[in-house]
Structure 1
Amino acid sequence: MFKQYIGWRFVLATIAVLIIGTTIWFVSNLSRKIQEEERKKVATWVEANRELLQTDSDVNLNLAVDIVTNNTTIPLILTDEAGKILDSRNLDSTRIAREPHYLEEQLKTFKKQHPPFIMEVDARQNLYNYIYYGDSLILRQIRYYPYIQLIVVALFIGLVLFALSSTNRATQNQVWVGLAKETAHQLGTPLSSMEAWLEILKDNESNATIVSELSKDVDRLKLITERFSKIGSVPQLEEVDIVAQVNNMVAYIRKRAPQKVTITSTCKEEELTAMISPPLFDWVVENLLKNALDAMEGKGKIEVSIENHPTYVTIDIADTGKGIPKMNFEKVFKPGFSTKKRGWGLGLSLARRIIEEYHRGRLYVKSSELNKGTVFRILLRK
C-alpha cells in the first residue's frame, strides 16, 4: 500500500512542500525584522519631530530635519488627543482628494496593525499628539510573496502532471490502437481460409445446416475484425435509424441469453436517426448488454428504452443485476477496472471512448442500486 505513494509524484510534491515551507519560514523571519526596523524608523521620526517642536534656539537641526523629510516609505497619520486627523504622510494623495473617508479608513487599519507613538506637543498645557503608522509597500509585498510563489509552484506542478499524464495517456492509446489493428490483421488470414472452406462445403447439399451456422460465425468474426480495424482512426459517421440498429443488436443478444433472462426494447417512435458508425455503435450496445447479462448471473430482466429529445437521442439499458456502488460510477470506465473474475476491464473504457470521442455523445451510469440493478445511458446528438 505504501509503495504506490513512493514515486516521482510523491517526490515532486515533497520537494514543492519543502520549498514552500522554507520560503514561508524565511519570509516570515524577514518580515518580522523589517517590521521591527520600520518601528525603529518611526520612533526616530517621532523623536526628530519632538526635537523640532521643542527647540527654540538656533541650534543646528539639520539632522532632525533630514530624518523628518527622508521618510518616504512608511505611511503615517498624525492625530490629536481627540482622534482628529491633523496630518498624514506617504499616503495616496489622489485618493485623499477624491475619497472623503479615505484617511479615516486608513487610520482604522493602522490602529489594528501597530500601537501608536505619543508625541508631547506642549508639556505646560499637557497636549499630546498620536502618530499611527502602517506597513510599507515593501513589507506588504514581502508578506504576499510566499503565497504568490505557492500559486506559481502549484500551477507549474499542475502543468507538469498534466503534461506527463497526457503523454502517458497518448502512449497507452498508441499501444491499444496498435494491439487492435494487429489483432484485426491477424484475424484476416484465418477468416479468408474459413471462407474458402465454406465455399467447398457448399458444394455438398448435405452440409446446408452446417454451412448456414458457420456462415453466421464467419460473418460475426468479420464484424469483430472490422471493429478492431476502426480503432484509432476517425470513423465515417452516417445517418442511421437508431431504433432498427439497437433492435438488431437486442435480437442478436436475445438468442444467446439464458432462458431465464428477458430482454425487451421499447421506443415511442418508429424511426429515429442519428449520425453513427454502425459497427462501433453495435460494439457499444453489445458490450452494455453483455455486462448486464453478467450482472444478473443467469436470471432477470433487461429493458432497453429509446427516447427522442429535441436535440439528442437517449438509449437506456437497465438490468436487474447486482448493481454498482455509487463510488464506482466513474471507476467502471477506467481501463483495468473489473468486478469479474475473468476479463481485462477494457469493455466499458472502449465503449465510452467510442461514444464520446468518435460520436461526440455521452456514456455514463444514470442510476444504480445494490442488488436491484443498474441503468447505463447513451446520449447521442442529432
Structure 2
Amino acid sequence: MFKQYLGWKFILVAVAAAIIAATIWFATNLSEKIQQEETKKVANWVEANKELLQASSDANLNLAVEIVTNNTTIPLILTDEKGNILDHRNLDSNAVVQQPNYLKEQLIIFRKQHQPFAMQMDTAQKMYSYIYYGDSLILKQVRYYPYIQLMVVALFIGVVWFALSSTSKATQNQVWVGMAKETAHQLGTPLSSIEAWLEILKDKEENRAFVVELTKDVDRLKLITDRFSKIGSVPQLEERDVVQQITNMLDYIRKRASQKIQFTMESSAPDIPLMISPPLFDWVIENLLKNALDAMEGKGSIHVRIDNHPAHVVIDVSDTGKGIPKGYHEKVFRPGFSTKKRGWGLGLSLAKRIIDEYHKGRLFVKSSEVNKGTTFRILLRK
C-alpha cells in the first residue's frame, strides 16, 4: 500500500504543494515588508505635518512639504479626540460623495488594521488629532494576488484533469467496445462451422442424444456472441416480464452451481412488464449471480428480491459470501479492477454500463459487510 503513494502522482502533488507553500510564504513576507515601509511613510508624513504646523515663518519647509504632497497611495483619515472625521486623503472621491457612511466604514476598517498616530494640533490647549491609515492598493494586490493566482491555476488544472479523465474514459470505452465486437466476430466463424457439423450429425439416429446437448451449448454461444455484438451500439428495447427473465436465469445458474448453494426469489408482483434488452439484461443478472457464486466459494445462499413501484422497479441480488470492503464499493465497477486471482475485471463494468447507459437505470452496491455478504441493487425506470 505504501508503494502506491511513492508513485509519480504523489511526487507531482508534493511538488505542487511545495510550490504553493513557497508562493504564499514569499507573498506573505513581501507584504509584511511593504506594510512596514508604509508605516514608516505614514510616520514621516505625520512628522512633516507637525513641522509645518509648528514651524516659524523663516524656516525651510521644502522637505516637509515634499513629504506631505508625495503621499498619493496610502489612504488616511484625520479625526479629533472624539473620533469626528476632520479630513481624509487618497480615498475614493466618488464613494465619499455618493455614500454618506463611506468614511465612517473606512475608519472602522483602518482602526482594525493599524494603530493610529497622534498629532498635537494646539500646544497651548493640548489638543490632539489622530491619523488613521489603511493598506495601499499595492499592498492589497501583493497580499491577495497569489491566492487569486492559485485559484486560477487550480481551476485550470481541474479543467485539464477533467478533460484528460474524460478522454481516458472514452478511450477505455472504445477499447472495451472494440474488444467485445472483435470477440463476437471471432466467435462467429467457429460457430457457423459447429452448426454445420451438427446438421451432419443429426442424420444419424445414434447421435441424437448428444446432438441435443450440443445444440443447447451452441445456442448458448450464439447468445453470448449476440451480447458482445450489442456492446457499443444502442440496443433495441423490448417489453418483457422481468420476473420471468430473472427466473429463467436463476434456473440456468442453479443447474451449474454447487448443490450446497441455495437459491431463493421473491417478487411483489407475479409479472412485471418492463422495456429491456433481453440478451443484455440476462447478461447483467448472470454476471451478478456468478459473482455471488464466486464470493461464496461453493457454499451459501443467493436471494433475489423484485419490488414493483409505481415509477420504477427495484431488483436486489444478495449473497452470503465474503463481502466487499467499503472502500471498494465504487472501484468494483471500474474496468480492469478485480479482487479475483483470475479474470479481467470487465463483468461488473459492462453490467453497470448496460444498466446505466442502455436502460437509463442504476446499478450499485446497496450494502456489503466483510464475511457476511453483499447486495447489489438495480433500479429501472418504467
TM norm structure 1: 0.90
Equivalent pairs: percent with the same residue? 73
**Count of residues in Structure 1 that have an aligned counterpart in Structure 2:** 382
Residue 78 of structure 2 aligns to a residue in which SS?
strand
One-letter amino acid of the counterpart of residue 380, structure 1: L
Q: 1:216-265 deviations in whole A, cap 9, x for unaligned? A: 10000001111111122222223322222222211211222221222122
Give the aligned partner of residue 216 of structure 1: 216
Q: In the alignment, does 2:370 pair up with 1:370?
A: yes
Q: What's the CA shift string for 1:76-130, capped at 9, x where partnerless? A: 1222234333333333455556666554443333223222212111122222211
Determine the C-alpha separation between the residues in 2 that align with 1:371 and 1:36: 65
Partner residue, 2:326: 326
Instruction: Look up the equivalent residue of 1:277 and give its one-letter code.
Output: S
Deviation at 1:14, TM superposition (A): 4.5
* SS in structure 2 of the partner of residue 234 of structure 1: coil
Worse-superposed segment, 202-211 or 135-144: 202-211
Displacement after TM superposition at 1:4 (Å): 4.3
Deviation sequence 1:185-236 (CA, Å, 0-9, x none): 1111110111111111222223222111111100000011111111222222
- Aligned partners of 2:2, 2:260: CA distance in 1, in Å? 46
**One-letter code of the match for 1:137?**
L
The structure-2 alpha-carbon separation of the partners of 1:338 and 1:148, relative to structure 1 and needing over 3 Å to count, comes to: same
Give the drift of 1:365. Answer: 0.8
Contact 1:35–1:139 (8 Å) recurs in 2: yes
Task: Give the match for residue 182 of structure 2.
Answer: 182
Q: Tell me the distance in 2 between the aligned counterparts of 1:22 and 1:204.
A: 85
* Deviation per residue, 1:351-371 (Å, 9 max, x gap): 112111222211111112222
Higher mean displacement: 140-149 or 12-21: 12-21
1:329-363 per-residue CA deviation (whole Å, 9 max, x = no partner) reads 11222233323232222211211121112222111
> In the alignment, does 2:1 pair up with 1:26?
no
**Are residue 344 (structure 1) and residue 340 (structure 2) matched?**
no
> 1:81-96 counterparts in 2 under 5 A?
81-92=81-92
Query: 1:2, 1:204 → 2: CA distance?
Result: 65
Moved more, 283-292 or 92-101: 92-101
CA separation in 2, counterparts of 1:147 and 1:162?
Answer: 22
**Distance across 2 between alignment mates of 1:35 and 1:195:** 88
Relative distance call for 1:167 and 1:93 in structure 2 (3 A) is same
Q: What corresponds to 1:197 in structure 2?
A: 197
Aligned residue runs from structure 1 range 1-382, under 5 A: 4-5=4-5, 9-10=9-10, 12-55=12-55, 57=57, 64-65=64-65, 67-92=67-92, 102-382=102-382
User: What SS does the aligned partner of 2:34 have?
Assistant: helix
Whole-angstrom CA distance in 2 between matches of 1:17 and 1:153: 13
SS in 2 for 1:171: helix
In structure 2, distance between residues paired with 1:91 and 1:176: 65
Identify which range, 174-183 or 141-150, moves more after superposition.
174-183
Q: Distance in 2 between matches of 1:4 and 1:301?
A: 36
Once the two structures are superposed, what CA deviation does each residue of 1:5-40 show, in whole Å capped at 9, x if it has no partner? 566544543453344334323323332232233223
RMSD of aligned Cα (Å): 2.4
Distance 1:39 1:89, change over 3 A: same
Distance 1:9 1:157 in 2: 14
- Aligned AA (1:80): D
Structure 1 segments unaligned to the other structure (5+ residues): none
Distance in 1 (alpha carbons) for counterparts of 2:302 and 2:4: 39
C-alpha distance in structure 2 between counterparts of 1:368 and 1:80, whole Å:
72
Partner of 1:336, secondary structure, is coil
From the superposition, tell whether residues 201 and 360 of structure 1 become closer, same or farther in structure 2 (CA, over 3 Å): same
Distance 2:55 2:245 in 1: 102
SS in 2 for 1:146: helix
Distance 2:93 2:207 in 1: 103
**SS of the residue 1:327 aligns to:** helix
Q: Which amino acid aligns with 2:318?
A: A
Q: Could you tell me which amino acid in structure 1 is paired with residue 347 of structure 2?
A: G
Contact 1:16 1:153 in 2 (8 A): no
Query: How far apart, CA to CA, are the structure 2 residues paired with 1:11 and 1:160?
Result: 18
- Which letter maps to 1:341? K
Residues 373 and 19 (structure 1), Cα distance of their counterparts in 2 relative to 1, 3 Å cut: closer
